[in-house]
Structure 1
Amino acid sequence: MENLDKIAELFPMIALIVAVSVGGWVFTTWMKIKNGYPLETSWGQPLHPKTDRESMERIKLLTGENAQLRAELGSVKDRLETIERIVTDEPSRLAKEIENLSYDTAGRA
């Protein structure tokens, strides 16, 4: 009987420890989800989202589009450099370069 009384006295403390532990776990999981960290299994291994065929196709399309847009951006940067050079160069030098373009190496138009 005396042992049951001791256990009964410890029960609220044990329940409080369990409640705080579960609450802490829920809070840390919520913070991980909120901040974009990967979730983990009970053994500490990361959970990876399942990828299906449709997702893989979409990733391939987006990767291709990304490469195309990067190439286009490079082309636009090259054109912008040319325009900046034309605007900032001296007018006589620009006229000379245009004149040189109109003649081939033999001096003919």
Structure 2
Amino acid sequence: MDNGTLALLIPIIALSIPIVRIWTKHQRDVARMQISATADATAEKAAQYSSQVQALEDRVRVLERIVTDKGYDVATQIEALRDQRRVDDTDSGVSIESLRKERA
């Protein structure tokens, strides 16, 4: 290398060092923001799953109570009423599918 090229490279290198430092700091900040956003999203999903699990546990408790208590007869009666309702719906000419479409 001759002296002219060396004289040109020294200021270019000296000016590029702060630019590289600023760029790496920016990349570090972006990574921190991504980590924070991911942590927040994960916490929200965990809370949502927790509420869904709680709802399912409540349903299971109700079903256990129906089966273990003297409510088993009540469950049988409920099923009998549902069967009777299905018969009544078909007798009246109203199909369950049409009722579901109306509700939607």
Q: Give the TM-score category using the shorter length.
A: 0.3 to 0.5
After TM superposition, the score normalised by the length of structure 2 is 0.43
After TM superposition, the score normalised by the length of structure 1 is 0.41
